[in-house]
């Protein structure tokens, strides 16, 4: 898959950075706010427009180059890794698990350090925005091993819950199996708020022991081993882009 941005004319600088695989839209905005981006030698400001190919747009002094091959991969993230490009506290990052695949690769969305499972990477900023934007309604399903009354929690998870001043609900929740002290739940959500699944479980009186994301939209983790990655198939990319 080879592509350059098909859009011409002025665009927001953060959108250009994202479309050329420099960072996700949110990370691009932070790069601008932190003074790392210039347009024609002048420090850029958030909301500024420029035209790729006519204006010189630089990040930390390096000009943005035309896009090369677009890359889309999925990783089965292990526990103990943070979902950032670098970590000021010296913790292991997911980037070490996909090192050397291609320049400009970044994770799409997040899984917290104690969570595991399906995590997508790309150098295609527009694709990343499509996957993560709430209006696209990409459902995410998780398996959650809990301690507590897992069976009774199923109905509560599907009802309205107040989490961080927002009303949220699970699109689906089921008890996969019971254990002496809890059980395994499978929970599907449409939002992607910070640590949402964990907070929903806590609000139901459950203690989360293990949390694994097993699908995003039609993309399933399947039998991919922990710590391993693979390229997405064309039809998988297309399903996530819709």
> Is 140 in contact with 216 (CB distance < 8 Å)?
yes
Q: Is 112 a catalytic residue?
A: yes
Which residue among the candidates 34, 112, 149, 181 is catalytic per the annotation? Answer: 112
Q: Are 49 and 9 in contact (CB under 8 A)?
A: no
Strand partners of residue 144: 185, 211
Q: Determine phi and psi for 195, rounding to 5 degrees.
A: 55, 35
Strands 182-189 and 219-220: unpaired
d(CA 177, CA 57): 54
**Element holding 116 (H helix, E strand):** strand 116-122
Hey, CA dihedral for 13, 135, 78, 73, is it positive or negative?
negative
> In the chain, helix, strand, coil percent, each to 5?
25, 35, 45
What 3 state SS string does 129-194 have? HHHHCHHHCCCEEEEEEEECCHHHHHHHHCCCEEECCEEECCCEEEEEEECCCEEEEEEEECCCCC
- Catalytic positions, written as ranges: 112
């Amino acid at each position: 898959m080879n592509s350059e941005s098909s859009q011409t004319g002025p665009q927001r600088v953060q959108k250009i950075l994202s479309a050329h695989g420099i960072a996700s839209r949110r990370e691009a905005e932070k790069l601008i706010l932190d003074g790392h981006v210039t347009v024609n030698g002048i420090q850029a400001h958030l909301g500024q427009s420029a035209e790729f190919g006519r204006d010189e747009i630089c990040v930390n002094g390096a000009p943005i180059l035309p896009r090369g091959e677009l890359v889309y991969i999925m990783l089965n993230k292990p526990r103990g890794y943070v979902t950032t490009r670098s970590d000021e506290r010296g913790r292991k990052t997911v980037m070490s698990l996909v090192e050397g695949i291609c320049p400009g690769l970044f994770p799409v969305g997040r899984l917290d350090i104690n969570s595991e499972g399906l995590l997508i990477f790309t150098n295609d900023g527009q694709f990343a925005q499509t996957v993560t934007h709430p209006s696209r309604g990409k459902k995410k399903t998780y398996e959650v091993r809990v301690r507590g009354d897992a069976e009774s929690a199923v109905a509560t998870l599907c009802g309205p819950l107040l989490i961080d001043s927002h009303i949220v609900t699970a699109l689906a929740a089921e008890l996969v199996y019971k254990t002496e002290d809890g059980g395994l739940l499978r929970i599907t959500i449409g939002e992607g708020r910070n640590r949402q699944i964990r907070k929903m479980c806590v609000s139901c009186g459950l203690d989360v022991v293990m949390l694994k994301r097993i699908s995003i939209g039609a993309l399933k983790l399947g039998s991919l081993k922990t710590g391993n990655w693979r390229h997405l198939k064309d039809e998988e990319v297309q399903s996530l882009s819709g």
